[in-house]
């Protein structure tokens, strides 16, 4: 895909091979922002793990102290009192078999799917639709829970999921270009600290191998992993 002139100009404005401090990298990324829309700032962390091994598959959630700046749309698979509570908590889609039928028909107008444990036999049948989109509820990420209200509040308040892809990379949005530097730095450091916390005992060698931060339309800026506050990389 051809890159825009702005992307090309931005990529030439700094040393793309240099490892920057976390604060310096955030400043560079923010300088790339366009005026067309409030771009998302995303971090990619390459970990020294083998995702093919079950004990090295990293997956979980992390609360970003500064939030994500995004309106998170939530679907909740629940019935009875839990469904009522979910609606009152602000979930955009709530239901049981009826919601499952909508999703089976292709409705995926949500960012997070939460389910009560009793609904998992129903939700499990939606793997073909939810799985490829990373929307399948999972106890490891707190999206299978009897306390749907807590989960809704957490995800709408800045909780994000993370997981390694097949190349051992973790992609996580940490806010918007409009955030101030301190807010983005706080979120970046919270993410890296969480990844350090869940480091598998079986992981050998360098754990945090590469960290790159970028905006939606901008080039990536490399960060020195050992320079991220709180990192043991």
DSSP structural state of residue 25: H
- Looking at residue 34, its pLDDT comes to 65
- Looking at residue 196, its pLDDT comes to 94
- Looking at residue 217, its pLDDT comes to 87
| Helical pair 81-88 and 148-157, crossing angle rounded to 10 deg | 20
Cα 152–Cα 157–Cα 160 angle in degrees, nearest 5: 80
Mean pLDDT split into 10-residue runs, the chain, 233 residues: 66 78 94 80 96 91 92 96 97 97 95 97 96 92 95 93 94 94 96 95 92 92 83 54
Q: Can you tell me the distance from the alpha carbon of 220 to that of 29, in angstroms, rounded to the nearest whole number?
A: 8
Domains of the chain, earliest start first: 14-68+159-227 (3.30.190.20), 74-157 (3.40.50.790)
Q: Can you tell me the distance from the alpha carbon of 53 to that of 64, in angstroms, rounded to the nearest whole number?
A: 28
- Looking at residue 99, its pLDDT comes to 97
Closest CA to 134 of 172, 97, 89: 172
- Looking at residue 37, its pLDDT comes to 85
Query: CB count, 10 Å around CB of 73?
Result: 15
Closest CA to 41 of 162, 175, 170: 175
- Looking at residue 228, its pLDDT comes to 83
The pTM is what?
A: 0.81
Q: Are 228 and 192 in contact (CB under 8 A)?
A: yes
- Looking at residue 32, its pLDDT comes to 83
- Looking at residue 8, its pLDDT comes to 72
Instruction: Determine phi and psi for 143, rounding to 5 degrees.
Output: -100, 0
Q: Can you tell me the distance from the alpha carbon of 178 to that of 188, in angstroms, rounded to the nearest whole number?
A: 15
- Looking at residue 86, its pLDDT comes to 97
Strands 93-95 and 74-77: parallel
């Amino acid at each position: 895909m051809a890159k825009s002139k702005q992307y090309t100009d931005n990529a030439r404005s700094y040393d793309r091979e240099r490892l920057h401090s976390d604060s310096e990298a955030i400043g560079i990324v923010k300088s790339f922002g366009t005026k067309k829309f409030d771009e998302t700032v995303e971090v990619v962390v390459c970990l020294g793990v083998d995702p093919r091994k079950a004990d090295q598959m990293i997956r979980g959630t992390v609360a970003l102290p500064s939030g994500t700046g995004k309106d998170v749309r939530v679907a909740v698979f629940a019935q009875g009192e839990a469904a009522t509570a979910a609606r009152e908590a602000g979930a955009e889609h709530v239901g049981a078999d009826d919601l499952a039928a909508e999703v089976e028909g292709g409705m995926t107008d949500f960012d997070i799917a939460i389910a009560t444990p009793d609904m998992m036999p129903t939700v499990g049948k939606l793997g073909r639709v939810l799985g490829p989109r990373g929307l399948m509820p999972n106890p490891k990420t707190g999206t299978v829970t009897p306390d749907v209200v807590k989960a809704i509040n957490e995800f709408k308040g800045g909780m994000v999921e993370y997981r390694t892809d097949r190349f051992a990379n973790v992609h996580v949005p940490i806010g918007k270009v409009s955030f101030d530097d301190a807010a983005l730095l706080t979120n970046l450091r919270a993410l890296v600290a969480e990844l350090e916390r869940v480091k598998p005992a079986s992981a050998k060698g360098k754990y945090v191998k590469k960290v790159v931060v970028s905006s939606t339309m901008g080039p990536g800026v490399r960060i020195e992993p050992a320079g991220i506050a709180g990192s043991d990389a």
